Structure 1
Amino acid sequence: MPITNYSVLKGRPTAGKIVKGSGGTHYQISVTASGGPFTVAVNIVSSDGSEVLYDIDHTFVPPESTGLTALPAGMTRLQSQPGGLALDFVREQINGKPMITQAAMTLLPKPSIAAKGKKQPENLRAEALTNGVTMLIAQAIKDPNSTIYAFGSSYADSGKVDGIHDIHMNQGNPIGSFSNDNGIWQDGAIFLQIPTLNTNPSRTWVAVFIAFQTESWATDKSGNPL
């Protein structure tokens, strides 16, 4: 059973903060857009204890940049199929090359208990993802023309702020608590367009890709591991 309400949120990032809760630790991005405000919840620590894989691609060019920029601000439901805006880490190609590969991603070990006053190397690496996302959002907030595109599962939080989560790979999960989320053409990611990054329009994009080490990159037509 795939994730529910696969969507992309387009809007203006206005704030970011780390939030710890029962669902794990997330970097929470506040976004203004039609029908909002919204919240984007980005996993920076896995809730099931598996190691996080991530890549922040500063040379990224979206596979469908024209379709993305033409989207209205706000939440848009996506069809989980090729040929549109839906993402698939395993199957997506850009100019004949994979959009993202497992080899391009950095392993983020679970933080260890460090001696008082000292940080273990894995703790420093764990901070790298948080710091990288924090810096990107800070840059985007400073640029009045920046836009965030967050892909994942949208939700309506009755009486609170609606948002989107599952901003990560959503296939290849082994049998267990997350295997019901498996599906193809429904992966989550963040694309940021920040004009002040570069005067060249094709170099104003940055992508944030997140996956988990337990997820297989060889999947069948249902998104289950082969």
Structure 2
Amino acid sequence: MPILDYGVWRGRPVRVSAERLDQDATSPHIHLFFDDGTGGHFAGTKRASINVKSLSTLSELVYWHIPDLRHPITDALRHLSRGFTPVESLPGGLALDYIRSNILDFEAGRILPHDEPGHIANDIIDFVLPELEAAIARRATVYLLGEPYSDRQGLHDIHMNQGSTERFAKYNGPWQDGAVILHYEAEDRFAGLFMAFASQAVHTDEVTGHALPGAPNFASYLGARPLSPEAAVPPAMPLRPDRRVVISGALVNPAGVENRPSSKGQPETVYLMNRSDEGLSLAGWKILNKLDEVRELAGDAWLAPGAVLAVPMTGVVLSNRGGTITLLDPQGLKVDGVCYTAAEAKPEGKVVTFRR
């Protein structure tokens, strides 16, 4: 079953420690101690335990650091009170999904071991610890997404919580991924630290969060391993998504009254670009908004080489308060995904463009 009590904990980070190889070679963690104003068992604080090694055959983690995070989730986080807030594992709110929130570029992930010797940054502790130490020194606010311990003295599962195999598959579920999100109030900047296990799949079921049959794991996707050691056969899906078609822009906030039958203005529109030198049929392709509402393309949808197709989002609303736009192929696999903030959507009649 998925994790039981998903949510986000807001506090102020006060100290951090990391378990090195000689301290715990099996299941080490980085422990971030934080103050949420209610005290705690750890010298007056609570504790977030961040995995830095997997118990599976592939022990490495995948790490993404976004120093200037701009995503609809940050607009929602800043309004939370200190302490733990339960979150429903559903799209459109505070729940995070590494695949469906369009918050990460998977190809930018870095596969890192737990603890390696040397004076250069070559393991996950070397990358994560300085970020947390800087957040403490600069008195940032921390938002921790994961599952609280039963005694409510902290939380864990601060990583991707879907696409796992074998004994960890029972914890899979969509819209329940963990993360460390930092807010530097002095400059009003958010930063995000995201972690997954190298053995987790990059494509998962919409309902169960289980790995789709034949889906590559991060190790093979990012080229760290030719194949998953747990797999008897090569992944049946392509290792990388077909990026011939991308979402190049969206008219989220048309001038005038939008989404009304009487409106005579331009409707909300998503622009798809064909980056290949071949024409492509888009029959059966789907565009999803942040609520996973679907706009399916017609059977005669065609995209010429280098062309841009304007798709009116008939019946599917693109929120002016920030949102996501996801493109799926006829098999339901994610081809591209983008996000935009409320600030980007505010100007009427302006197309929000996405760097590709």
TM above 0.5: yes
SS of 2:131 mapped into structure 1: helix
- Change in 2 beyond 3 A, CA 1:163/1:21: farther
SS of 2:7 mapped into structure 1: strand
**Which residue in 1 is equivalent to 2:9?**
9
Structure with more of its chain in helix, by fraction: 1
Deviations 1:19-70 (A, max 9, x none): 3559711110001004443111111122334221111111212322232111
- Once residues 89 and 21 of structure 1 are traced to their aligned partners in structure 2, the CA distance between those partners, rounded to angstroms, is 28
Contact 2:115 2:125 (C-alpha < 8 Å) held by counterparts: no
SS of 2:175 mapped into structure 1: coil
- 1:136 CA displacement: 1.8
- 1:88 CA displacement: 0.3
Unpaired runs of 5+ in structure 1? 93-97, 113-117
- Once residues 119 and 54 of structure 2 are traced to their aligned partners in structure 1, the CA distance between those partners, rounded to angstroms, is 19
**Which residue in 2 is equivalent to 1:125?**
122
% identical aligned pairs: 32
- 1:101 CA displacement: 3.1
One-letter identity of the residue aligned with 1:58 = P
- Once residues 45 and 69 of structure 1 are traced to their aligned partners in structure 2, the CA distance between those partners, rounded to angstroms, is 31
- Change in 2 beyond 3 A, CA 1:119/1:44: same
Query: 2:131 pairs with 132, 136, 141, which one?
Result: 136
Residues 74-113 of structure 1 correspond to what in structure 2 (within 5 A)? 74-92=83-101, 98-109=102-113
Please report the RMSD computed on the Cα atoms of aligned residues, expressed in angstroms: 2.2
Bigger relative contact order, structure 1 or 2, given CA contacts below 8 A and separation 6+? Answer: 1
Q: Report how many aligned residue pairs link the two structures.
A: 202
- 1:184 CA displacement: 0.3
- Once residues 222 and 31 of structure 1 are traced to their aligned partners in structure 2, the CA distance between those partners, rounded to angstroms, is 32
- 1:134 CA displacement: 1.8
Residues 210-225 of structure 1 correspond to what in structure 2 (within 5 A)? 210-220=195-205, 221-225=207-211
Unpaired runs of 5+ in structure 2? 40-44, 213-356
Deviations 1:129-180 (A, max 9, x none): 3133222222222223x100010111134xxx71110110000112x11001
Q: TM-score scaled by structure 1?
A: 0.81
- 1:104 CA displacement: 1.5
- 1:10 CA displacement: 0.3
Q: TM-score scaled by structure 2?
A: 0.53
Residues 1:30 and 2:16 are matched in the alignment: no
Query: 1:170 pairs with 161, 174, 189, which one?
Result: 161
- Change in 2 beyond 3 A, CA 1:186/1:194: same
Q: Rg: which structure is higher? A: 2
Contact 1:90 1:101 (C-alpha < 8 Å) held by counterparts: no
- Once residues 100 and 193 of structure 1 are traced to their aligned partners in structure 2, the CA distance between those partners, rounded to angstroms, is 18
- Change in 2 beyond 3 A, CA 1:152/1:22: farther
- Change in 2 beyond 3 A, CA 1:192/1:102: same
